[in-house]
Chains A and B, each alone.
Chain A
């Protein structure tokens, strides 16, 4: 199984901040990496697919990068609606999610 590890597990930031979340795979997964945002009581929402492609309708302040084993999700200027939990997910071999990063208001 491919293990996905996110860091940090939680993060406090302010509106307007630039935030980066990291996801590391236990083996190379090329660009088979997606990012999701989940708000309380809601299903996850796709933000980024194939490591760096922005899903239609997602604000351009969200961006993704990386390949192989190391990936990042960056939010360039945090907005109030961005405070949520973020998950990475690999689709290289079956599927698997990182443990999540909780983004909280400072």
Chain B
């Protein structure tokens, strides 16, 4: 059974960089079929896709966040990470990591999610 677990600081100061890590267990992050993704959700609001990384190479980001986001992967630790720079209060949210699965025939979907971690941006 695949499991994902987010970790990182729960409080970040404005203008600083938010950094989170997602640890994958129960399967190899290097499997070529998957994209590893970050999604966030402000309190009481909907889901916002942040971006994804394919361990074969390549990243895709939400255009609205692209200038501030970096997603990277550490296959030796079975982890992938999110960095969001120049944060403001608007970046306060629960941040989820998730696995994006699919094939050439079956369209992709998020099948496994972490439990989410609350990150608050405040001085």
Contact = CB atoms under 8 A, between A and B. Distances in A.
DSSP class of A's interface residues: helix, strand, loop or mixed?
Answer: loop
B115 A43 contact: yes
A72 interface: no
B109 A46 contact: yes
A55 B111 contact: yes
A30 B102 CA distance: 15
Interface string B96-123: 1010101000111111011110000000
Interface residues of B, number: 23
Interface residues of A, number: 28
A95 B39 CA distance: 10
A94 B62 contact: yes
A95 B46 CA distance: 14
Contacts of B115: 42-43
Nearest to A34: B109
Given A91-B102, A95-B37, A44 B110 contact: yes
B109 A49 contact: yes
Interface in A32-86: 32-34, 36, 38, 42-46, 49-50, 53, 55
Interface in A19-38: 30-34, 36, 38
A1 B63 contact: yes
Contacts of A87: 46-47
Contacts of B52: 94-95
Interface of B: 37, 46-49, 52, 60, 62-63, 96, 98, 100, 102, 106-111, 113-116
